[in-house]
Each structure stands twice: as C-alpha cells, then as structure tokens.
C-alpha cells in the first residue's frame, strides 16, 4: 500500500459539507461536555440561551455562542489563581503544566492537560510534520528552550510518535546548535523564523556549512515571519532547505494550522479539530474569504479547558483550500498570521504593520543582520518612524546611502506616503531573539505632553 | 457527501480502545503500577484514533486518561 500523503486521509480530504457536518457534531459534543463539567463556560452559554446542544442545529448556530475574551480568562485566573475557573477537570488529573509566553497581558496564562490531551497536542503537530514530508528516519533538531512555554513541546512528542530521531537542543549556545545540526546529520530543524536566521548567521560566521548539511526541511513557528515571503525566501536560501510555516497558541495547547510541502502561500487550517471564524475586530461581524479579519477559534480537542469562540487577536486572510493542489480540503490562511490586532500602530493617521515593514526590509537589504522599528515624538507634537538596520560586519553595503534611501522610499510607498527614516545601527547594537522577536519600539510621548507613555493601541 | 465509515481495521482499533477503557474502569485499582500506567498511556494513544475518526470518545479524566 502506498503511504498516504495525509496524516488523516479521511478528514483532510472531506467535502465541505461533510467537514461542516463533522464540526457540528463535535461542537454539540463540546457544548454538552462544557455544560457537564465546566461551570464557568457553561454559565456563559446559558446566558446566551444555549441550555443544551439541542439549540445548535447548523454550524451557523456557532455564532450564538458568546466570544471568549483573553481578559476574561485572565481575570478569572487572577481572581482564582493559578488556573481560574476555566478547568473542566480537577488539577490532579493533569500531567502537564504550561504557560503562555507572556507577550500579552500582565502575567502568562497557565494551562493544564491530561494524558490524552497531551497526546492530542502531539497529534495536531503530526498533521503538520506529515504534510511537510517529515517521516522516519528523519532526525529532527529542536532549537527550543524547553521551559514552561508550550512552544515546540508538542512537536517534540509528535516527532517521537512519527518514529523520528529527536535531538532536543535546549540549553545550548547558537554555535553549539549549528555544529550539532551539521555533525549529527540532522534533516529537519524546528525553530522560530528569527532564530532560523540567527543560526544561519552564526553558522556562516563559524564556518559551518548549513546549505551543504543534511537539513532539508525547516518547520517554523512562534512568529508570523514564517509566511512573510521575503523572510521565508531568505531562510530557505541560507539553509538550502524548504521552510514551512505553522502556528499555534498556548490557549489551544498546539498548532491549529500547518503549511504543506506544496507551499501554497499559507498554512492549512486543521478543520477537523478546530472551527476557525474570521471577523471584523470592531463590528465582530464575519468577513468574507479574501479579506483581512481577526481569527476566532473553537477547539474540539483539549478537554481540560473548553475553548469556544476565543478571540485570538491574530489578523488573517482566509482563502479556499482550492488555492493549493495538495488535495486537502482544509482552507488556508493566505500569508499565515498577518499580524496582531494590537500590532498595528497609527503614525500620523497611517496604519503601520510591523509585518509589512519586515517584508520590505528583508527583500531589499541582503546583508541584514537585524533591524528595529522605532516610533518617537519630535518637539512633543510630531510622530516619526524610523527603521534601524544592522548590517553584517564587513558588509559592502554599510555605507550605501542609496540602498537605505530606496528602502525608505518603498516603505513610504507602502504606507500612503508616510515618511520613514532608515539608518544603520552599530554592529551588535540591536537585540537578538530566540523566541517571539520584538522589533517595534513605541517611544512616543502623549500628544502635547512632556513625556510619559503614549496611550495608543 | 458524508464521512466515510471506519474500515474494519480502524473499527478493531476502536474496539481495543473501548476494551482498554473497560479494563481500567473495572480493574484499574487492582492493576500493578506497571500495568496500570502503561494501560493509561495506551488508552491515551488509542483515544486519538477514535477521535481522529470523529467518534467522540469522550473525556476520561476520572480514569486518569
């Protein structure tokens, strides 16, 4: 029998009607489980008049379920630490404790999982690795710190499940990691996009030939850059390997989308385990396919914490599965995560997205080592934006004013004529990142004020 | 178009899962640690088969699964 190109051939190729029927059935089961075991979420359902799953007659009825907001989850956790009132099972039943990475909010969210939840978390990653062409006897290296942040934990267990040889690269220097990748004949590397570039830089500096190594696939996660074409192309060039994007959330415990080896320009949504909606972040009304909106997720897998209609703040553009010729019927988020609702900055009336800046900077500056975007106020009244680019030491383009001018011109053109300053930074002066790069510093003052922090989104 | 029915082999795996759960429910307390914990681990793995087949195998935290 020919091995299937799909991890789950029966669901990954379902017709839209059958897929929605499966989702409705699972949704009803989730609502029943919630009423039976999760009083906090159950109360929200009852407030909306959903006393039982009988009220859900079609998948459209999903919209009757109230949104779950992160601040509400956070509030219950603060009122009733450490987990809040969200658990559907006693903490003693859990075998794993994990937290969010702390990029939003005052403290990380803490989550628990039981044995079959943890297996399910790995199961979702299996969809992704399989679609990327990862198989036994691949050797998979994880450039990951293995802390309480859930990160690549599930991916590690997924690769064990696939029969791959797993190399856990926690607690290692970047140099030690790239040397191990080359010497141990690693074929698959998992990291954030930023750190994939960082490792490539380190390898070049230390004379380690990554493009000549056995690495053939990079599985990226943790940042939107895995689907930014210029960043992805750079990663693929520097590693001599194919890069695929994935994205997950600690709130779900795992990934909800994966890019297949056909690389259709964005990852497929794992639609047999999640329902993903895309809404206008202001009106909360659904937006049609092809338009930018906020993703809202309902998860069927993790029983410990029922998650229904969770507002993720991720901005996405959903397109039909037919965009890809891999045969899957799971729809695609074109361009992956396009940014965060709260990523957007308004500079002199123009919307600025860090992702758009990264795309232009990486496309143009070949010898780029790092970059930072800085927003600041001049004379207490005028907002300015500048991009600091750190070039590789000894780069011929260090003093190339024309190049910087051209980057500024393209940035301006992409932002309704907004003026961008672009200048070089001293070698080694900009921060490096292993996880979730933070490349935008908003140092603006309150308008008209003499200082202090600005209160904008 | 509806979901395909599980194949005979898939059905047998689901039967294994259900049998394991039944053993844990009926005899879990009597099993030696090595038998009990490995059965829980196996049940957690086979739960994925039932779940991926869309069979809704439930949540069995009371059995430690």
Checking if the pLDDT of A76 tops 80, the result is yes
Instruction: Tell which residue, A429, A343, A415, has the closest CA to residue A385.
Output: A415
| Chain A interface, best mutation among B3, B9, B21, B47, by max A CB count within 10 A | B3
CA separation for the pair A75, A87 (Å, rounded): 14
Nearest to B1 among A11, A15, A29 (CB): A15
H helix intervals, chain B: 8-27, 33-52
Task: Output the six-digit token pair for A424.
Answer: 């070089």
Measured between CA atoms, how close is A114 to chain B, in angstroms?
A: 6
What is the CATH code of the structural domain delimited by A1-341?
3.40.50.12780
The pTM of this model reads 0.88
Average pLDDT over all residues of chain A: 91
pLDDT band, very low/low/confident/very high, at A104 (cuts 50, 70, 90)? low
Confidence class for position A101, pLDDT limits 50, 70, 90? confident
Residues in chain A with CB shorter than 8 Å from the CB of B54 are: 11, 22, 25-26, 272
Q: What is the DSSP string of A82-110?
A: TTTT--SS-GGG-SEEEE--SSSSSS--E
Matching residue, tokens 């999903």:
A62
For B46, nearest residue in chain A (alpha carbons) = A116
> How many structural domains does chain B have?
1
Mean pLDDT across A381-391? 88
Evaluate whether residue B58 is within a structural domain. yes
Residue extent(s) of CATH 3.40.50.12780 domains in chain A: 1-341
What's the topology of domain A345-442?
Answer: GMP Synthetase; Chain A, domain 3 (3.30.300)
Place of tokens 């991009």: A387
Q: How far is B34 from chain A (nearest CA, A)?
A: 16
What does the alpha-carbon distance between residue A305 and residue A100 come to, in Å, rounded to a whole number?
A: 14
- For chain A, give every residue range classified as CATH 3.30.300.30: 345-442
**Residue B37 counted as domain residue:** yes
Q: What confidence score (pLDDT) does residue A448 get?
A: 40
At residue A457, the pLDDT reads: 31
A217-220 vs A188-191, strand pairing mode = parallel
- A407 φ, ψ to 5°? -60, -45
Q: What is the ipTM for the molecules in this complex? A: 0.97
CB nearest to B44's CB, from A90, A119, A304? A119
CB contact under 8 A, B44 and A118: yes
Residue that the structure tokens 């051939």 belong to: A9
Q: How far apart are CA B24 and CA A254, in angstroms?
A: 28
∠ Cα A29 A108 A428 (to 5°): 130
Task: Round to whole Å and give the CA distance between A434 and A152.
Answer: 13
Contact of B47 with B8, CB cutoff 8 Å: no
Q: What residues of chain A lie within 8 A of the CB of B65, using their CB?
A: 114-116
Give burial (CB, 10 Å; 0-12/13-18/19+) of A448: exposed
Q: Which residues of A touch B3 (CB under 8 A)?
A: 10-11, 14, 18, 21-22
């Amino acid at each position: 029998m020919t091995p299937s190109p799909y991890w789950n051939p029966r669901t990954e190729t379902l017709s839209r009607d059958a897929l929605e029927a499966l989702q409705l059935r699972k949704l009803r089961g989730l609502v029943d489980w919630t009423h039976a075991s999760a009083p906090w979420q159950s109360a929200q359902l009852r407030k909306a008049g959903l006393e039982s799953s009988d009220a859900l007659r079609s998948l459209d009825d999903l919209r009757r379920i109230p949104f779950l907001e992160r601040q509400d989850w956070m509030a219950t956790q603060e009122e009733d630490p450490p987990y809040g009132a969200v658990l559907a099972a006693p903490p003693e039943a859990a075998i794993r404790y994990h937290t969010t990475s702390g990029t939003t909010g005052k403290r990380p969210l803490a989550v628990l999982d039981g044995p079959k939840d943890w297996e399910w978390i790995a199961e979702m990653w299996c969809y992704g690795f399989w679609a990327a062409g990862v198989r036994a006897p691949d050797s998979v290296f994880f450039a990951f710190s293995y802390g309480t942040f859930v990160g690549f934990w599930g991916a590690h267990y997924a690769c064990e499940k696939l029969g791959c040889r797993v190399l856990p690269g926690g607690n290692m220097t970047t140099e030690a990691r790239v040397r191990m990748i080359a010497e141990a004949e690693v074929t698959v590397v998992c990291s954030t996009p930023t750190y994939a570039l960082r490792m490539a830089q380190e390898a070049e500096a230390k004379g380690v030939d990554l493009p000549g190594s056995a690495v053939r696939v990079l599985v990226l996660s943790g940042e939107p850059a895995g689907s930014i074409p210029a960043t992805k192309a750079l990663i693929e060039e520097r590693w001599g390997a194919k890069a695929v994007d994935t994205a997950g959330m600690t709130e779900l415990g795992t990934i909800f989308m994966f890019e297949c080896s056909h690389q259709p320009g964005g990852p497929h949504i794992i639609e047999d385990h999640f329902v993903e909606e895309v809404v206008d972040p202001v009106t909360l009304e659904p937006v049609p396919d092809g338009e930018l909106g906020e993703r809202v997720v309902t998860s069927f897998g993790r029983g410990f914490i029922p998650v229904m209609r969770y507002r993720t703040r991720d901005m996405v553009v959903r397109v039909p599965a037919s965009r890809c010729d891999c045969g899957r019927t799971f729809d695609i988020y074109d361009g992956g995560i396009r940014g965060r609702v709260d990523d957007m900055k308004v500079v002199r009336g123009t919307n600025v997205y860090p992702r758009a800046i990264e795309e232009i900077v990486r496309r143009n500056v070949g010898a780029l080592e790092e970059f930072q975007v800085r927003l600041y106020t001049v004379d207490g009244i005028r907002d300015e934006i500048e991009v600091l680019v750190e070039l590789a030491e000894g780069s011929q383009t260090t003093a190339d004013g024309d190049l910087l001018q051209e980057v500024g011109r393209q940035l301006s053109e992409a932002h309704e004529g907004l003026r961008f300053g672009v200048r070089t930074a001293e070698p080694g002066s900009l921060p490096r990142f292993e996880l979730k790069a933070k490349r935008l510093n908003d140092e603006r003052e309150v308008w008209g004020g003499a200082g202090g922090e600005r209160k904008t989104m | 178009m509806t979901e395909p029915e599980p194949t005979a082999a898939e059905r047998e795996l689901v039967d294994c899962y259900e049998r394991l759960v039944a053993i844990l429910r009926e005899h879990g307390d009597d099993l030696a640690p090595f038998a009990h914990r490995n059965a829980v681990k196996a049940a957690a793995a086979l739960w994925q088969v039932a779940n991926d087949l869309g069979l809704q195998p439930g949540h069995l935290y009371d059995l430690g699964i």
